[in-house]
Amino acid sequence: MTLQSGVWEERWHPLREEWIIVAAHRQNRPWIGQTVTTPPPRDPVYDPTCYLCPGNMRVSGNQNPTYGGVYVFDNDHPCVGPLAPPPVTPPWPYRARRADGIARVICFSPAHNQTLAEMAPSAIADVVQVWQQQTYDLGQRPEVNHVLCFENKGAVVGVSNPHPHGQVYATNFVFKTMETELFAAQRFWHDHNRVLMHEIIAAEQQDGRRILYEDDHTIAFVPYFARYAYEVYVVPKRTVAHLYGLNVAESQSLAQAISAVTIRFDNLWQMSFPYVMSLHQAPTDGSQLPFFHAFLAFHPPLRRPDLLKYLAGPEIGGGNFLSDTAPEATAAALQAVTAVHYRASEVQ
């Protein structure tokens, strides 16, 4: 772990077109020690108090069916939705509009105590298929211009219910990150006549030190320009603007890569690894975007088992990230753990 621990430089984030300060020369090497606490006892496979478990009643009074696979429902407390009231017209120069759109919840599994890391790749492939279907279906709606699928996992990102689930926000606007990436990819396409993500994949393959998974269709890596210590991109090799453009083999490969990455996350500190995961997909306004390359990004907030990456002066105040670890070193830490989940031998 000594090789790259002293990196001190600025790295360009080509998708966001901004600088990341990598200041790993100070003291923060990747944490590879054991966690200080023993793993908590396993949650039950069914929790009668969980509003996401099969057959249970939700706060809204709606009852979940006794579902056996992936289950999707309209969010009972939507941030955007058809029932949003008309806006109050503000004074110049302010603007407001109705919070139109659709918000949904996706239960990844009927099992309360499973996470993507512990689900079989075939079951993760079912989740991928639902992301594809939701993106396609919601993207068809005239009021929807973008579909954001994401998962918030872990108490440190505000999710106390361990039941594996993600969300879908189908909005009338394009989320800022994807809009930024769209413009960057468009500029790159114009300047170099190439898909930016293809060049990133090629650069990662040529270096090789940050790759966590690769097969014929998918590659996963800690990007050279990672903002979070253990940030991982899971990228289809073929350019599709939306994940529903992937064929069956490519979708199954994507699921396999998600499995491989999330297992390594959990194994790193032998804990259920928190993260924010989001799908980066193109707008759904019907425009043809041959340069937009869809992918998944995991943003784990922890630098150590008990230490959050706080967003502070540089990030919140200035808008650029300061990273305390070198991506090569954190990738090496993730590569060093076993590819079998540490709880795999426990009785479910």
**179 in Cβ contact with 121 (< 8 Å):** no
- The smaller minimum CB distance to Zn ion, of residues 108 and 175, is found at 108
φ, ψ at 155 (rounded to 5°) = -60, -30
For Zn ion, which stretch binds (CB under 5 A), given 25-33, 105-113, 214-222, 270-278? 105-113
Least distance between Zn ion and beta carbon 45 (Å)? 9
- What contacts 99, CB < 8 A, 6 or more positions away? 79, 80, 81, 84
For Zn ion, which stretch binds (CB under 5 A), given 25-33, 72-80, 107-115, 257-265? 107-115
- What contacts 246, CB < 8 A, 6 or more positions away? 132, 217, 236, 238, 240, 254
Task: Tell me how far apart the alpha carbons of residues 118 and 154 are, in angstroms, rounded to a whole number.
Answer: 15
Least distance between Zn ion and beta carbon 269 (Å)? 24
**325 in Cβ contact with 31 (< 8 Å):** no
For Zn ion, which stretch binds (CB under 5 A), given 25-33, 104-112, 130-138, 300-308? 104-112
- The smaller minimum CB distance to Zn ion, of residues 52 and 235, is found at 52
- The sign of the torsion formed by the CA atoms of 182, 188, 190, 195 equals negative
- The smaller minimum CB distance to Zn ion, of residues 104 and 163, is found at 163
Closest-CA residue to 144 (of 134, 156, 157, 155):
134
112 near Zn ion, rule: CB under 5 A? yes
- The smaller minimum CB distance to Zn ion, of residues 11 and 165, is found at 165
Task: Tell me how far apart the alpha carbons of residues 146 and 177 are, in angstroms, rounded to a whole number.
Answer: 12
- The smaller minimum CB distance to Zn ion, of residues 112 and 217, is found at 112
Task: Tell me how far apart the alpha carbons of residues 211 and 81 are, in angstroms, rounded to a whole number.
Answer: 40
Closest-CA residue to 276 (of 237, 302, 247):
302
φ, ψ at 78 (rounded to 5°) = -70, 145
Judged by CB under 5 A, which of 104, 146, 153, 163 binds Zn ion? 163
Just list the catalytic residues.
165
53 to 82, contacts with Zn ion by CB under 5 A? 53
270 to 309, contacts with Zn ion by CB under 5 A? none
- The count of residues interacting with Zn ion (CB under 5 A) is 6
Least distance between Zn ion and beta carbon 106 (Å)? 13
Least distance between Zn ion and beta carbon 218 (Å)? 29
Closest-CA residue to 163 (of 175, 154, 171):
154
Least distance between Zn ion and beta carbon 163 (Å)? 3
37 to 56, contacts with Zn ion by CB under 5 A? 47, 50, 52-53
Nearest residue to Zn ion, using CB?
50
Which residues contact Zn ion by CB under 5 A?
A: 47, 50, 52-53, 112, 163
